[in-house]
Copies of this chain bind each other. A is one copy, B any other.
Amino acid sequence: MSAIDFKLLKQDGKARLGSLTTPHGIIDTPIFMPVGTQATVKAMTPEELKQVDARIILANTYHLYIRPGHELIARMGGLHKFMGWDRPLLTDSGGFQVFSLSELRKITEDGVRFQSHLDGSYHTISPEGAIAIQEALGADIIMCFDECPPYPAEYQYVSTSMELTSRWAKRCKEAKKRQDQALFGIVQGGMYPELRAQSAADLREIGFDGYALGGLSVGEAPNLRYELMECCSGLLPTEQPRYVMGIGTPEDLVEGVYSGYDMFDCVMPTRNARNGMLFTSSGRINIKGAAYTEDSGPIDPECSCYVCRNYSRAYLRHLFRSGEILAARLNTWHNLHYYLALMTDMRAAIAADRFEDFRREFYAKRQ
């Protein structure tokens, strides 16, 4: 009995319209999940996340394990209560951050020993440990502990790594105790389709509540990413959610949905917002540009968000140049609205059997 229930409502080509029921509510798919690394989606309150139509957010296990600690969060009533978010939550396993943030790390069959990026202290996370941390945090969906190989990487390295990830996945499933959390397996295998196929087969044999592609958006060209997503979606069960981790650009999301994936997450809308880069229906703009000095128009004339309804590009440029916190807030608000409205538009297009047209129009507007 899974803690979640996924209903595939319809397909338009490979693009899928679905409904994912979790212990904290129902999510229409395909969906983008804003990233709340340290128990907060940077610069946003839970109420504002609801205003931009966030249905589920992601928190980072590694960061919360390091600070303030998963046991503290458990004693405070779990992550939902701690951060004041009553809708669904997903936690990654910590694997990606262990490999990307730790300066020193040692991988063994048992797990990974690494140094904290904050204070240099030593820690070990095993598959069982990653599950225990995620059970303490209490997200609706938790992830297997995996090794995320670098890009580019040799076939032999990726193959060995993928096999380790499969063995760890089995241990994660066996270690899991809580019945109110769903566990997703993570398909690895780098840019080698045959390794991805083996990984997917291994994970399907173990059996998970959903399946993710890991190890993407690590430096590869977009076309390679899209080819890999395309070839992998056929390897995954149709009756369960498919999640591409850590992507991406608006184009990535459109291509991901086109290839049949249901869930996405990325720091791009929030991180870029803090750097002044804003997404619009006709492409990206950088709000610090001199062209906006006396521009009384909104970020995007086609956007209905709070920011576009209330503030001019001139004011947003002034806030950004002045280093004001409100700049980070309003930019983040707009970008998250853009991402979530894009998902809403894609769901509507699938429902209307016009996803191909939607995709063509999406690219036409950006030219």
Contacts and interface: CB of A to CB of B under 8 A. Distances in A.
A84 B319 CA distance: 13
Contacts of A293: 68, 72
A139 B310 CA distance: 20
Interface of A: 38-40, 42-45, 67-68, 72, 75-77, 82-84, 293-294, 296, 310-312, 314-315, 317-319, 321-322, 324-326, 328-329
Contact of A76 (B38, B83, B312, B319): B312
15 contacts: A38-B324, A39-B315, A39-B319, A43-B325, A67-B321, A68-B293, A68-B318, A72-B314, A75-B294, A76-B294, A76-B296, A82-B312, A83-B315, A325-B328, A329-B329
Contact of A315 (B42, B82, B317, B318): B82
Contacts of A42: 324-326
Contacts of A314: 68, 72, 76, 82
Contacts of A84: 310-311, 315
A38 B40 CA distance: 26
Contacts of A317: 68
A66 to B, nearest CB: 10
Nearest to A333: B45
Contacts of A44: 326
Contacts of A76: 294, 296, 312, 314-315
